[in-house]
């Protein structure tokens, strides 16, 4: 398995690397398809990282956050969520000092410190799991299950936040529109000891770049890189990227990254162990074009 040595361009080497060891230890990444992830020796560590990051983010002093500790109930749950065409990015602390003259991609990675995953979006129309089950509640919280809202505590009615004209008029407010590929970000997680240092922002940009590359590969066209805000973004085919996240914790963060809130689901106290209830927001960003 090959690992790519990367030093995030959006954050300086000191801000990222000093807490890890030194600038000579760059970030190492690998991108896995669902079949590759299913046989990866890193799957147990990935399962632990996602759950640890999820637990940490929901125990920051806000009474509205979830008390449930696990985002994933079993390691293979992420494989099911990704489906056959999704991908997962793993970011490691490099275990060996980086030799700038060494172009080898075979360096063994160190500790898994961050992850992100995405897949082509498909509207969900399956029946929800058994109502009242903690597992079903947590699994359904971040899913856009159109047509089932209001049928269970895990899927209350959707409250529109912005009409389509205030977002992207040319798309008429549709989640999936002919000619515009739509992807969905499923998970984002950073080791709690390294949060707040720009790693999540870099992983988010890297995920968008990977989505664009996957769309451009079948077309066999070389895309021109455009420097925007200190980050490289791929030009070419327009793509709509969706995500669902907890309003109280993450909405502001993603809005600053260019996402727009399109709808909100409000959950009552008790769902997922919350003390005062909370909101899940559906968000969208259009890239390229």
pLDDT in tens, the chain (289 residues): 655 655 444 333 333 333 333 323 367 899 999 999 999 999 999 999 999 998 887 765 555 466 565 788 889 999 999 999 999 999 998 765 545 565 555 556 689 999 999 999 987 654 444 444 444 455 556 666 543 344 344 445 555 444 333 333 334 345 555 568 999 999 999 999 988 888 999 999 999 999 999 988 765 444 444 454 444 444 567 899 999 998 988 999 999 999 999 999 888 887 777 777 888 899 999 998 6
In this structure, what CATH number is given to the domain that contains residue 131? 3.40.630.30
User: Judging by DSSP bridges, how do beta strands 260-267 and 278-287 pair with one another?
Assistant: antiparallel
pLDDT, residue 187, reads 93
Q: Which domain does 167 fall in, by range?
A: 4-287
* Total domain count, the chain: 1
DSSP run (H or E) holding 92: strand 87-94
The values of phi and psi at residue 4, to 5°, are -100, 130
Start-to-end CA span in the chain (Å): 34
Burial category of 272 from C-beta neighbours within 10 Å (exposed 0-12, middle 13-18, buried 19 and up): buried
3-state secondary structure of 111: strand
CB-based contact 214:236 (threshold 8 Å):
no
- Nearest partner of 30 among 103, 121, 110, judged by Cα: 110
125/123 Cα distance (integer angstroms): 7
200: which 2 tokens? Answer: 């999540």
85/95 Cα distance (integer angstroms): 30
User: Judging by DSSP bridges, how do beta strands 239-246 and 182-190 pair with one another?
Assistant: parallel
Query: Distance of alpha carbon 115 from its chain centroid, rounded?
Result: 8
pLDDT, residue 212, reads 92
């Amino acid at each position: 398995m090959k690992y790519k040595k990367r030093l995030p361009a959006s954050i300086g080497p000191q801000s990222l690397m000093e807490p890890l060891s030194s600038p000579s230890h760059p970030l190492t990444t690998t991108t896995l398809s669902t079949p590759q992830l299913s046989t990866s020796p890193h799957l147990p560590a990935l399962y632990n990282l996602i759950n640890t990051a999820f637990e940490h983010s929901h125990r920051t002093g806000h009474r509205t956050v979830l008390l449930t500790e696990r985002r994933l109930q079993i390691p293979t749950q992420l494989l099911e969520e990704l489906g056959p065409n999704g991908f997962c990015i793993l970011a490691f602390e490099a275990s060996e000092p980086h030799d700038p003259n060494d172009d080898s991609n075979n360096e063994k990675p160190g500790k898994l410190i961050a992850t992100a995953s995405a897949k082509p979006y498909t509207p969900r129309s399956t029946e929800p799991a058994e109502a009242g089950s903690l597992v079903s509640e947590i699994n359904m919280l971040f899913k856009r299950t159109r047509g089932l809202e209001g049928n269970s505590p895990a899927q209350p009615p959707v409250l529109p936040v912005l009409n389509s004209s205030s977002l992207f008029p040319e798309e008429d407010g549709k989640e999936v529109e002919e000619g515009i590929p739509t992807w969905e970000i499923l998970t984002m997680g950073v080791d709690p000891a390294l949060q707040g240092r720009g790693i999540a922002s870099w992983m988010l940009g890297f995920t968008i770049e990977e989505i664009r590359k996957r769309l451009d590969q079948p077309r066999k066209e070389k895309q021109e890189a455009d420097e925007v805000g200190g980050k490289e973004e791929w030009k070419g085919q327009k793509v709509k990227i969706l995500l669902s996240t907890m309003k109280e914790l993450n909405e502001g963060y993603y809005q600053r990254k260019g996402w727009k809130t399109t709808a909100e689901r409000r959950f009552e106290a008790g769902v997922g162990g919350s003390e005062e209830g909370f909101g899940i927001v559906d968000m969208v960003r259009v890239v390229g074009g």
